[in-house]
Copies of this chain bind each other. A is one copy, B any other.
Amino acid sequence: MRIADRIVEIRSAVQRARGNGSTVGLVPTMGALHAGHASLIERAAAVDDFVVVSVFVNPTQFGPAEDFDAYPRRLQEDASIAAEHGAHLVFAPTVEEMYPPGASTFVEVEGLTANLCGAVRPGHFRGVTTVVGKLFNIVAPDRAYFGEKDYQQMLVISKMVRDMHMPVEVVACPTVRETDGLAMSSRNAYLTAEQRAAAPAIRRGLLAGERVVKQGGSASEAVQTAIAQIATEPILKVQYVEAVDPETLTRPDHNGAPMLLAAAVFAGDTRLIDNIVVEG
């Protein structure tokens, strides 16, 4: 598996692929690839002829007190996983390659970024949309693949693409879970055995909330139910559980579906997120 760390390399590899009539798929990641990423890469390889996996721990989407330095980095292993699941090229640039000295340009989606993770991680989505905008300009993919585990991120990027007329199709892919329901995340590796054992309560909480919504319950009933379920594991600390409209991410003006239930929960210093969309 070839690992390119320069923008010029990627551009010429993509140009070569396009010259052969290939379509191009991009799977943007921060590395520490797991089965969730693998499913994105497989989906991309099933649809597009040439698949680029980017591995870049993006500093601008981390807050000052967050885990940028600690975030797991294991590029060789990531490249093997990418190859195994059908990728053709790994793009692993340095921070300086992505952010030239003095870089001061940002892409921001207003509105959709005000709630949920946007409310508790100021600047996070600005960092995400900025780096994804750069990746789109560098790789010029036909399609880009994002996981629904990061539901708000997927929605924000879709809106950026639509608003900015970016010539890319955003493909949303289902969350991949451990057998006990915990959503796959690179951050699961941080968990102690005790935290790991408690963590599936997040999923159980959201499922309990989903039952409330399906019975026509209100947003706040669903939230209270989910929080109560998560609280059965006292080692977990809820940052937020919210029930919002799945398109606008604002408080719904109705009971029952459609509803997005989204949670952010701390297990020690490790922040885990998950969500369920209850279709209308």
Find residues 73-123 in chain A having any chain B CB closer than 8 Å to their own CB: 98-100, 102-112
**A1 contacts which chain B residues (CB < 8 A)?**
none
B163 and A7 form a contact (CB under 8 A): no
Bound together, the chains give a CA A272 to CA B245 distance in angstroms of 47
B159 and A137 form a contact (CB under 8 A): no
A167 and B11 form a contact (CB under 8 A): yes
Q: Contacts A106-B110, A107-B107 given: A100-B162 contact, CB under 8 Å? A: yes
Minimum CB–CB distance from A8 to chain B (whole Å) comes to 11
28 contacts between A and B (CB under 8 A): A7-B165, A100-B163, A103-B162, A104-B109, A104-B110, A104-B111, A104-B159, A104-B163, A105-B107, A105-B108, A105-B110, A105-B129, A105-B160, A105-B164, A106-B107, A106-B108, A106-B110, A107-B108, A107-B133, A107-B164, A108-B108, A134-B164, A134-B165, A137-B164, A137-B165, A137-B166, A138-B165, A140-B167
Find residues 131-190 in chain A having any chain B CB closer than 8 Å to their own CB: 133-134, 137-138, 140, 159-160, 162-167
Quickly give the copy total for this chain. Answer: 2
Minimum CB–CB distance from A104 to chain B (whole Å) comes to 4
CB closest chain-B residue, reference A126? B108
Closest 3 CB pairs of A and B: A105-B163, A104-B110, A103-B163
CB closest chain-B residue, reference A167? B137
Bound together, the chains give a CA A130 to CA B108 distance in angstroms of 10
Interface size on A, residues (CB 8 A): 31
Bound together, the chains give a CA A110 to CA B130 distance in angstroms of 13
**A167 contacts which chain B residues (CB < 8 A)?**
11, 137, 140
Minimum CB–CB distance from A119 to chain B (whole Å) comes to 16
**A109 contacts which chain B residues (CB < 8 A)?**
104-105
Bound together, the chains give a CA A108 to CA B133 distance in angstroms of 13
B105 and A159 form a contact (CB under 8 A): yes
Bound together, the chains give a CA A100 to CA B164 distance in angstroms of 9
Minimum CB–CB distance from A102 to chain B (whole Å) comes to 8
CB closest chain-B residue, reference A106? B108
Minimum CB–CB distance from A49 to chain B (whole Å) comes to 18
Name 20 extra pairs, CB < 8 A, besides A107-B107, A134-B164: A7-B165, A98-B165, A103-B163, A104-B111, A104-B112, A104-B163, A105-B108, A105-B109, A105-B129, A105-B159, A105-B160, A105-B163, A106-B107, A106-B108, A107-B108, A107-B164, A108-B108, A133-B164, A137-B167, A140-B167
Bound together, the chains give a CA A143 to CA B163 distance in angstroms of 23
Bound together, the chains give a CA A100 to CA B158 distance in angstroms of 13
